[in-house]
Amino acid sequence: MNAPETPPVSDLPALALREVPADFLAALAARFGDQMSTGESVRAQHGRDESAYVHIPPPAAVVFAESTQDVADTLRLCNAYGVPVIAYGVGSSIEGQLLAVQGGISLDVSRMNRVLHVNAEDLTVTVQPGVTRKQLNEAIKDTGLFFPIDPGADASIGGMSATRASGTNAVRYGTMRENVLALEVVLANGEVMHTGTRAKKSSAGYDLTRLLVGSEGTLGVMTEVTVRLHPLPEAVSAAICQFPTIRDAVQTVITTIQMGVPIARVEFIEAHTVELINAYAKTTLRPEHMLLMEFHGSPAGVKEQAETVQAIASEHHGNDFEWADTPEGRTQLWSARHNTLFAGLASRPGAKAVTTDACVPISRLADCLLESVADAEAHNQPYFLVGHVGDGNFHFGYLIDPDSAEERERAEALNHRLVARAIAMDGTCTGEHGIGLHKMGFLVNEAGLPAVDAMRAIKRALDPNGILNPGKVFAAD
Amino acid sequence: MNAPETPPVSDLPALALREVPADFLAALAARFGDQMSTGESVRAQHGRDESAYVHIPPPAAVVFAESTQDVADTLRLCNAYGVPVIAYGVGSSIEGQLLAVQGGISLDVSRMNRVLHVNAEDLTVTVQPGVTRKQLNEAIKDTGLFFPIDPGADASIGGMSATRASGTNAVRYGTMRENVLALEVVLANGEVMHTGTRAKKSSAGYDLTRLLVGSEGTLGVMTEVTVRLHPLPEAVSAAICQFPTIRDAVQTVITTIQMGVPIARVEFIEAHTVELINAYAKTTLRPEHMLLMEFHGSPAGVKEQAETVQAIASEHHGNDFEWADTPEGRTQLWSARHNTLFAGLASRPGAKAVTTDACVPISRLADCLLESVADAEAHNQPYFLVGHVGDGNFHFGYLIDPDSAEERERAEALNHRLVARAIAMDGTCTGEHGIGLHKMGFLVNEAGLPAVDAMRAIKRALDPNGILNPGKVFAAD
C-alpha cells in the first residue's frame, strides 16, 4: 500500500460559501412562515455536529419540514436558486456531515417523526425520517419485534440510513445496508421517488435503495424509510469476560466468528477506557481489557453459544464469564458502553474527539488494532478505544484540544496512519460513521479514482446543480 | 393498484439493430485472433438463453475474454464504435438478458474461471466471473466453508451477481445482494474500477457494489467478484412434509418465519409439479403439496428447529416429517427440486416456459399464490409451480408452444395479472430472475417513473454511448 494520495482534511475544511440570495430567503419565508428560522441560536445549533470541526459558519436558515410536500417545496426552491441544502435529523453525525461548508440552509426533518405503518406479520415498519431508534423500539414494543441497529446515539432513522449506520448488534443483524427495504426520497428537483418494496428480496432494476443508503444526503432527502424488524429473542444473556492482553480478547472474537457462532453482540473495551466509563457512568467494571457479549436465541441455544465462547475465551486466558441476567443489568451495561464518547470527552474538559472508524477483515483485526495502539502510545496521544470487534470494526477517540494545531495534527497523523494500515489490510476507512468531510481524502485512497469518478458522475446525474449537501463525501470535480 | 401503465413484452421484443461496422470487426479480429468467433453456431449459442423468446438474431461476433485486459480492450473498441456488448457467463438467464436485441457482440467470460484468493479465515473468496457456483464449492470444499447461493442452474458467479440471484438458501443466508463484498468492474470506457473491500461492513461513499449487483450487464462488466462464505453447519437435516392444501403448506411457512426460526431452506412444491419431477428425475415422491426443508446448526439446534416447525406443520394438517439424513439423500432431493424447470419442459415436448418470479411480503403469500393458481386453472394453462416460500417468492412456469401466439398471449396475460397482484400487495415483479426484456414494463409499474428515470440517468452517466447490454431493464428514454 502506497501512502495515501490525498491528505485528509486536517483542520478547517475549505469553505466555498455560495450566495444565498435575499429573494430566495423571502420565497422560503413566504412558503414556510414560522416553520422557518433565521435566528442565530437555531442556525448555530444546526451548524454543528459531534465532529472535531470548529469555526464553520452556520447555515443561513433552517426549515422545519413537517411533510414530504415541505421537503419537496424546499428542494424545488433550493434547486431553482442553486442554494445548498443539508438534511438534519438529530445532529449526531461525527464526521462533519452537517456542516454548511458551502453555505445554504439546513432542512430539519425531526418533526417528521411518525411511525406510519407497523406490519408486524411481515417484520417491517415504515417510519418518517425523524423517528429515532429508541422511539421506534418504544412504538413496537408490544409486537414481539425489535429494530436492532444501535449506533450509540439515539439517532434518527433518516440519519442512520444516510450514513449506513450500524452499531453493536450488526455482527448478527447486519447494518442499515441490510435492514432498509424501501425508501421514499425527494430528489434535487423536488420530485418524489419510491425505491424498493416490502418484499424481502428483489431483482427489479438498479438497487436505488442501497445507493441512497450511505449517500449522506448528497443524492436525495429521505422522507419515508421502511426497515426490517426482527423477532425478540426468546432468551437473552449478556456476559463480560476480562483478558490479560488485547490480543487475547481479539483472538477470542476472531475464533468465535470463524466458527460461525451466531453471537448477537461482541464489543471490545480497552482497559483504560473501562476506567473512563466507570468515572462517567458510575459503573464498577474491573479496569481490564474486556469483551462485552450478548447471546440471543432459544434458552438452549443461548446456553450452547455461551459455552462455546467461554471455551474459546478460556483458551485465550479469559476469565470466567460474569453474567448480567436481568434486563436492567443489561441496559446498564450497554448504556455504559454507548456513552464511551461522552465518557472520553468528560475525561478531558473542553476536548473534542478525533474518531477513527476503520474496519478490516477479521483475520487482520488483532494486528491492525495492536499496531494502532502502539502508535498512539508512542506519541503520548490520550485516547479511548472500543470496538465492534465481531465485524472487524473499532474506534479510537483521540482526545484533543480543538484549538491546538499541534494536537490536531498529531491526532490526524495517527488517524492517517491507521487508515493506511486498514486499507493495506483490505479494509475500509469507515465501518459505520461515513465519509462526511473528515474522510474525503481517505475515500480516494481506499476506492481509487475510477470509483470516485463514478460516484461523481452519479451525483451530477441526479443533482445537476449540486445543491444536496455539496462538498461532502467527495469534491465535485 | 391501477392496471400496469406499460404492457409487458409479450412476444418478440422491438428490435433496433445497430450497425456493427466491418472495420470494428476487423479491429476486434486483429486484437483477439482465435479468441474471437463469427461462426454461425457459436453466435447462435450466444444469442439464446432460457427465456421463451424465439427468432432473435444472434450477435455479430463472440469474444472469449481470458483476462481483465481482454474485457477492457473489448469495451474500449465497442465504445469507440458504438457497438453493443453483452457479457455472457453460462447462458442460464431466463428473462432474455442475453439476447442481442440491438445487435452487437457477445463477450463470453466463461474462460475467466479461476478461483483467485481463498481467505478462509475471513470467510471470503475472490473469483473470476466465469467460475460457476458448483466449481466454487468444489474448490473450497476442504476449508469447512461453503457458498450458499444456488439459483438452480450451475450459473456463473458473474451472472449471478449481475442478476442479483438467490435460490433455496436465501431465506437464511441472503441473496447475492448480501453476499457480494467487492467487485472489479470494467466500465464502458474500458477503465477498471474497484468497488468495496473485504471488510464485512463499510460506510465509505456510495454503495457501488450493490449498484452493480443486479444491473444485468448495463453498467459494467464484472471481472472479479469477492463473495462471503459461510461455515458449513455442524449438523444438517432435511425433511419433507406433505399437506392437504396449498394454504396449509404456506401458512406453515408464514408462521415459521414470523417466529424467527432460522430455517436454512423451505421450498414449496405443488402436487402436480411433484408428479412432473417424479417423471423426469425418477424420484418416488408422494404427489401431494409438499414442503422441502433443511435445518442447519448444532445437532441440538437442528433438533430444536425441526421440532418447532413440526409442531407448526401439524397445526396446519401437515403429516409427520420424512427425513433425508444422508448427504446422498439430500443431494437427490435438492437436485430433483432444482430440475423443476427441465421437468416441466420435458412434460410438454417442444414447450418453452414463461416463468413468473413475484415476491411478496410473507403475510400476503398465501393469498397471492392461491389467487394465481385459481387464475391459471380457470384458463386451463398447463404450469408447474414451486416457491422459495420462506422469502415470499414463487415461480409459475406456464408451459407454452412458443410458436402459438394464442398460448403466448394467454400465459403473458396470466403473468401480467399475477404481477399486478404482487405489486398491489407491496411486492415485486421479480424476486431473483431480474428484469431482462421480459419484465421491462413491470419495472415501470412497480418502481414508478421517477425511479426508472433515476436509473436511466445513472445509466447515461456511466455508459454515455449506451453500449452495455442496451435495451434491457428499461428503455433508454
| pLDDT value of residue A55 | 83
**Confidence tier at A53 by pLDDT (50, 70, 90):** confident
pLDDT digit string (tens) for A394-436?
Answer: 999 999 998 899 999 999 999 999 999 999 999 999 999 999 9
A201 and B166: CB-CB below 8 Å? yes
A205 and B443: CB-CB below 8 Å? yes
Question: Which residues of A are less than 8 Å from B434 in CB distance?
Answer: 203
CATH class of B115-231: alpha beta
pLDDT digit string (tens) for B57-80?
Answer: 999 999 999 999 999 999 999 999
CA pair distance A251, A370, nearest whole angstrom: 12
Q: State mean pLDDT over A375-391.
A: 97
For residue A238, the SS3 value is strand
Size of interface A-B (CB pairs under 8 A): 281
Is residue A249 a contact partner of residue A291, using CB atoms and an 8 Å limit? yes
pLDDT digit string (tens) for B428-460?
Answer: 999 999 999 999 999 999 999 999 999 999 999
Of B178, B432, B461, the CB nearest to A203: B432
pLDDT digit string (tens) for A311-368?
Answer: 999 999 999 999 987 888 888 889 888 889 999 999 999 999 999 999 999 999 999 9
Q: Do domains A235-342 and A348-436 have the same CATH topology?
A: yes
Of A361, A428, A447, the CB nearest to B122: A361
CA pair distance B276, B273, nearest whole angstrom: 5
Q: Suggest the residue from B206, B308, B389, B473 to mutate for an interface test with chain A (most A CBs closer than 10 A).
A: B206
Give yes or no for residue A213 having a pLDDT over 60. Answer: yes
Question: Which residues of A are less than 8 Å from B474 in CB distance?
Answer: 205
Q: State mean pLDDT over A173-198.
A: 98
B458 and A454: CB-CB below 8 Å? no
B199 and A360: CB-CB below 8 Å? yes
| pLDDT value of residue A13 | 61
Domain boundaries, chain A: 22-110, 115-231, 235-342, 348-436
Is residue B187 a contact partner of residue A453, using CB atoms and an 8 Å limit? no
Could you give the C-alpha distances from B391 to A172, A459, B151, B158, B159, in angstroms and in order?
A: 19, 33, 14, 23, 21
Of B206, B213, B215, the CB nearest to A455: B206
Of B203, B443, B462, the CB nearest to A214: B203
A22-110: CATH topology is 3.30.43
Of B219, B231, B432, the CB nearest to A259: B231
Closest-CA distance of chain A to residue B380, Å: 29
| pLDDT value of residue A4 | 39
**The C-alpha cell of B179 is what?**
453476499
- Low-confidence stretches of chain B (pLDDT beneath 70): 1-14
Is residue B316 a contact partner of residue B230, using CB atoms and an 8 Å limit? no
Q: Suggest the residue from A122, A124, A201 to mutate for an interface test with chain B (most B CBs closer than 10 A).
A: A201
Question: Which residues of A are less than 8 Å from B435 in CB distance?
Answer: 203-205
B235-342: CATH topology is Alpha-Beta Plaits (3.30.70)
Question: Which residues of A are less than 8 Å from B259 in CB distance?
Answer: 231
A432 and B357: CB-CB below 8 Å? no
Closest-CA distance of chain A to residue B338, Å: 20
| pLDDT value of residue B329 | 86
* Type of residue numbered A309: V
Question: Which residues of A are less than 8 Å from B207 in CB distance?
Answer: 164, 177, 207, 210-211, 213-214
Q: State mean pLDDT over A30-41.
A: 98
Of B202, B426, B450, the CB nearest to A187: B450
Kindly state the helix (H) or strand (E) to which residue B386 belongs, with its residue range: strand B383-388
Of B199, B208, B461, the CB nearest to A431: B199
Chain B residue nearest residue A188, CA to CA: B454
Question: Which residues of B are less than 8 Å from A174 in CB distance?
Answer: 178
Of A199, A254, A434, the CB nearest to B203: A434
Question: Which residues of B are less than 8 Å from A462 in CB distance?
Answer: 454, 457-458
Question: Which residues of A are less than 8 Å from B211 in CB distance?
Answer: 206-207, 210-211, 458
A348-436: CATH topology is Alpha-Beta Plaits (3.30.70)
Q: How many alpha carbons fall within 13 Å on the CB side of residue A173?
A: 29
The ipTM is 0.96
Q: State mean pLDDT over A438-442.
A: 93
| pLDDT value of residue A12 | 54
B207 and A233: CB-CB below 8 Å? no
pLDDT digit string (tens) for B334-364?
Answer: 988 888 999 999 999 999 999 999 999 999 9
Phi, psi of A266 (to 5 degrees): -150, 105
What sections of B82-183 are H helices per DSSP?
133-139, 157-162, 170-173, 176-179
Edge-to-edge strands, sheet with B393-400: B322-324, B235-243, B289-297, B265-269, B383-388, B393-400, B352-355
| pLDDT value of residue A346 | 95
B178 and A175: CB-CB below 8 Å? no
Question: Which residues of A are less than 8 Å from B262 in CB distance?
Answer: 262
Give yes or no for residue A7 having a pLDDT over 90. Answer: no
